[in-house]
Amino acid sequence: MIVSAVYTTNDGMFSKSFLVSAITVTLCSLWPTLINTALGVSSIDKDLVSVSRVLKMNTYTKITKLVLPSALPLIFTGLRLSLGVGWMVLIAAEMLAQNPGLGKFVWDEFQNGSSQSLARIMVAVFTIGIIGFMLDRVMYALQSIASDLLE
């Protein structure tokens, strides 16, 4: 509602429906990553923190050798959750904001009501699920690469 009220020009770089969808997806998918990152950093073993103080590690070394390797699994769990939430919210936002995409396609087919609509909706739902699964696998591969680099 705030974006709709503030963004009144039609000659902008982005359409209003795109901005509403982007802000909605961002606000919905921000929290799992933020919470899991905070949990991952706060759950670092206190003995490791004490050892880093004794060794007088500088900030960069402490982050790269202690914080990131310890918190990385929870950070990527948050990223994977955020990606899934963002994907679901994006489909719903496309339906509501009438942005072109899979969500709008499903909504249009639902409103169509023809005998072929149910089959098209099912194909779209399976496509949405497959894309979501592939996004999760890509994020898992990035997690594996990042954890190998930090070891």
Note the pLDDT tens digit of each residue in 62-87: 988 889 989 999 999 999 999 999 99
Domain assignment present for 7? no
Q: Is the pLDDT of residue 9 over 70?
A: no
Full-model pTM: 0.81
Residue 10 belongs to a domain:
no
pLDDT at 13: 74
In a domain, 2, yes or no: no
Count other C-beta atoms under 10 Å from residue 54's C-beta.
8
The answer to whether position 6 is within a domain reads no
> What is the reported pLDDT for 11?
67
The two most distant CA atoms of the chain are separated, in Å, by: 72
Report the pLDDT value the prediction gives residue 115, as an integer from 0 to 100: 82
SS3 77: helix
User: Is residue 106 a part of any domain in this protein?
Assistant: yes
130 in any annotated domain:
yes
- Side-chain-side CA neighbours of 135 within 13 Å: the count stands at 16
> How many structural domains does the chain have?
1
Q: 137: domain range?
A: 15-150
pLDDT at 58: 92
What digits encode the pLDDT tens for the residues 14-67?
A: 777 778 888 889 999 999 999 999 999 999 999 988 999 999 999 999 988 889
pLDDT classification of 12: cutoffs 50, 70, 90: low
CB atoms within 10 A of CB 94: 21
